[in-house]
Amino acid sequence: MSTPSAKRAPRPHRRPKKDPARIVAFRALRAVDERDAYANLILPSLLREAEQKGMDRRDAALATELVYGTLRLQGTYDAIIAACIDRPLREVDPPVLDVLSLGAHQLLTTRIPTHAAVSATVELARAVLGEGRAKFVNAVLRRISAHDLDTWVEQVAPPYEEDAEDHLAVVHSHPRWVVSALWDSLGRWQPGACGRTAIEELLHADNERPEVTLVARPGRVTVAELRETLPQAQAGRWSPYAVTLAEGGEPGGIDAIRENRAGVQDEGSQLVALALANAPVEGADRLWLDGCAGPGGKAALLGALAAERGAALVASERQPHRARLVARALDGNPGPYTVITADGTRPAWREGSFDRVLVDVPCSGLGALRRRPEARWRRRQDDIPGFGPLQRELLRSAIRAARVGGVIGYATCSPHLAETRAVVDDVLRSETGVEWIDARPLLAGVPALGEGPDVQLWPHLHGTDAMYLALLRRTA
């Protein structure tokens, strides 16, 4: 036994342990914060790099869970971290905050044991922030680990009765203005089911990892053929072309996807393309337009459906790099198609040329928060009015592109009322010779679509992104 007076040899400098999963997760969060990177694009490239250096699949899965989980619950974690430090959150360096959030996620939401979550995060802090800041991280994580998530939320969220939107914003990790906009829209579409339970179910669904949904492109592969090669696959709920993969399903290695016969496509997006394709048109049905086609999910389904009917598709996109993605998505389409790079508000086609026209306009993306976990923190309330003029112009131009008797679909991946009904109402007030079509019968079997004629899908009700669709017919 050593005597208390014995002089200890100085501890050799200890290198932080290598922990590829947490390093990758930290780098992804930094890229999202510093460079406005999209998690779903930056993470795969960081994982590929780490896998080349020997990272295994388990670590890759952990890194993925850490990045998506932390980004989704960022608002809740921020409120908890703020309660554990004695200065305003905005005065904490962003890289330190990222490490703290990663630690909070492990402690409060994963099954990683407390001691492992703290020690691994402190090791990460040593590696990426240095010894001094690692001590701060250690102290804050120990405070966080004093309670579980429910207890923390009770402490840091204002009571629902005092301020319902603030309460929901903290509990369900959404900016307050997003809670407010989603609730307004839910009230418009589901007037009988827009109370506290409904909004909580919607916000909760936004924080769930969506299952991977594939589309079996008609004429190229069938749902049955896809399911034969994918034992874990289930038929989709609404679209006859949809197949869902159980959690963790990896679409990259599927032959049909590599060969473009199938694609990854949310069922809401499939339903929009199907409704447009199945809307009745009088007379010829030969030429279809997708006026905002990039990256090409709906265009590829429309192209395949058009081919089955002997029609051709023109897929138009303003951004050249996105037009290239459209060309890739349509490659091998069984019928005729053309991909063009064009501004839909200055059409490269003659008025009245098309039998069917889709404009899936640029929008806030508030309907795809399940997939783009960082989007809710990046978007600002002030962004919303900025989309309006282009959305209106694209819809006007789509109406002109359709021939008399032809149909037009206006779609957004946002349920924000300012991007959906308000746009269509405005345009219809000033455009003559166009009428609503009831879109609901064209989404056969899909419940809870509201009172029509347009439809709004919801993650908590339909398991899809919150896509909006209005169908119109040109009458004169």
Ligand X SMILES: C[S@@+](CC[C@H](N)C(=O)[O-])C[C@H]1O[C@@H](n2cnc3c(N)ncnc32)[C@H](O)[C@@H]1O
Catalytic positions are 413
How far apart (Å, rounded) are the C-alpha atoms in residues 276 and 268?
A: 13
Region of 130 on the Ramachandran plot (φ > 0 left; ψ -120 to 50 alpha; else beta): left
Annotated binding-site residue? 146: no
Structure tokens at 156: 């840091």
292 among annotated binding-site residues: yes
Interface with ligand X (CB under 6 A), residue from 218, 236, 294, 415? 294
Using CB under 6 A as the binding criterion, the count of chain residues that bind ligand X stands at 18
Interface mask (CB under 6 A) for ligand X, residues 403-442, using x and -? ----------x-----------------------------
Q: Return the DSSP state at 28.
A: H
User: By CB under 6 A, which span of 11-19, 57-65, 79-87, 289-297 interacts with ligand X?
Assistant: 289-297
Residue 341: count of CB within 10 angstroms of its CB: 17
19 marked among binding-site residues: no
Report the nearest approach of ligand X to the CB of residue 254 (Å).
19
Single out the segment in contact with ligand X by CB under 6 A; choices: 53-61, 145-153, 154-162, 341-349.
341-349
**Residue 306 interacts with ligand X (CB under 6 A)?**
no
Residue 322 binds ligand X (CB under 6 A): yes
Do 125 and 101 contact (CB within 8 A), yes or no? Answer: no
Q: Which amino acid is at 118?
A: V
Nearest approach in angstroms of CB 469 to ligand X is: 12
Among 42, 102, 153, 292, binds ligand X (CB under 6 A): 292
Strand 212-216 relative to strand 262-264: parallel, antiparallel, unpaired? antiparallel
Q: Write out the two tokens for 216.
A: 């079996």
The partner residues of 356 in beta bridges, in order of sequence, read: 288, 407
Shortest Cβ distance from residue 346 to ligand X (Å)? 8
- Best CA proximity match to 28, nearest among 54, 56, 53, 47: 47
**Cβ pair 164, 180 in contact under 8 A:** no
Beta-bridged to residue 235, according to DSSP, are 243
Q: Whole-number minimum distance, CB 258 to ligand X, in Å?
A: 19
Contacting ligand X (CB under 6 A), which of 172, 318, 462, 474? 318
Q: Does 295 bind ligand X (CB under 6 A)?
A: yes
Question: What's the CA gap between 209 and 248, in Å, rounded?
Answer: 10
Applying CB under 6 A, which of residues 59, 98, 123, 317 lies at the interface with ligand X? 317
Site for ligand X in 344-373 (CB under 6 A): 344-345, 360, 362
205-224 burial, b at 16+ Cβ within 10 Å, e below that, comes to: bbbeebbbbbbbbbbbbbbe
Distance between CA atoms of residues 46 and 21, nearest Å: 10
Q: Binding residue per annotation — 298?
A: yes
CB of 326 to ligand X, least distance (A): 8
Contacts of 263 (CB under 8 A, 6+ apart): 214, 215, 217, 257, 297, 300, 301, 329
Binding residues: 292-298, 317, 343, 360
Binding residues for S-adenosyl-L-methionine: 292-298, 317, 343, 360
- Interface with ligand X (CB under 6 A): 269, 292-298, 317-319, 322, 343-345, 360, 362, 413
